[in-house]
Structure 1
Amino acid sequence: MKANATSGMAVHDACKLKFLELKAKRNYRFIVFKIENRTHQVVVEKLGQPDDTYEDFQKSFPANECRYAVYDFDFTTDENCQKSKIFFVAWQCRSPESSKVRSKMIYASSKDRFKRELDGIQVELQATEASEMSHDVVKSRAL
């Protein structure tokens, strides 16, 4: 666990370990991370099983709180090739008004450092509402 010099945020070792399992072994479809206010560290909140759908992933985000997540997105290219890309999602770190300002600031200031801990991210997506991370948006960013 290392602390982030700018925000004082630490990253729990399980975050990197589970991400490596998603990337190398494909043990998980997605991982949702949250910042524990009490310990000021990023922790794993939810692990999506390999057969979970994109809809399951979308349902994993709380309506009024920020989160980080990674998603292993399988898709078929226009040339009919099966591919996979790992997305990093920063959820509600810019708005809406329902999220707490302090929480948004902590998530926004810690995002880049946390993302660097996860070696292998291919696409980043910032979403403040569900439509910004719809399946169609993700697929268009993957291609």
Structure 2
Amino acid sequence: MLRMFSLQANAASGMAVHDDCKLKFLELKAKRTYRFIVFKIEEKQKQVVVEKLGEPSQSYDDFTASLPADECRYAVYDFDFVTAENCQKSRIFFIAWSPDTSRVRSKMIYASSKDRFKRELDGIQVELQATDPTEMGLDVIRSRAN
């Protein structure tokens, strides 16, 4: 009985990562092809897939508007900013979006798969966990970028 449980526990967090996730992330990181990427866990296929790609011209508001209000998602955002020394810089943020209104099962799946998924994306500089839009407001992003 105990053995059966441990197999199920492993299966629950054993989300595959679609190759497209890594490919699009590399394009964002190396070529700056996208401003952001929203990732979704397809529970039936047990894998993380790309749900939405943001064009380089899109704003942070466009990004936050693309996150569902009551469903979990992972996202990557390429944030451009100017330092106090007037240097143009960018930071790649990984955002684990888990709104309070999302299903408990969904929150658990996203939480248990997060670290493994994040390891697949080499080059993330800042991680944010948000359950509410205010926890990932532009002011929070700016303060964490420096």
More helix by share: 2
Provide the TM-score with structure 2 as the length reference.
0.91
- 1:74 aligned residue: 80
Take 2:11 and 2:79, find their aligned partners in 1: how far apart are those partners? 32
Q: Secondary structure at the match of 1:64?
A: coil
C-alpha distance after superposition, 1:108-143 (max 9, x if no partner): 000000000000000000011111100110010001
- Among 109, 114, 127, the alignment partner of 2:112 is 109
Q: Describe the SS at the equivalent of 2:13.
A: coil
Shift of residue 6 of structure 1? 6.5
| Structure 1, unaligned runs of 5 or more | none
Deviation at 1:5, TM superposition (A): 6.4
**Corresponding residue number in structure 2 for 1:63:** 69
Q: Does 1:29 align with 2:32?
A: no
Partner SS for 1:63:
coil
Could you list the per-position Cα deviations for residues 36-91 of structure 1 after superposition, in whole angstroms to 9, with x for gaps in the alignment? 01101000000000000000001011011000000000001111110000000000
- Show the counterpart of 2:91: 85
Distance in 1 (alpha carbons) for counterparts of 2:33 and 2:75? 15
Maintained 8 Å contact 2:12/2:109? no
Report the TM-score, using the length of structure 1 for normalisation.
0.93
From 102, 109, 128, the equivalent of 1:125 is: 128
Residues 1:46 and 2:49 are matched in the alignment = no
RMSD: 1.2
Q: Take 1:134 and 1:8, find their aligned partners in 2: how far apart are those partners?
A: 31
Q: Kindly name which structure, 1 or 2, has the bigger radius of gyration based on alpha carbons.
A: 2
Q: Which residue of 2 aligns with 1:9?
A: 15
User: 1:2-50: per-residue Cα shift (whole Å, max 9, x none)?
Assistant: xx86612100000000000000000000000000011010000000000
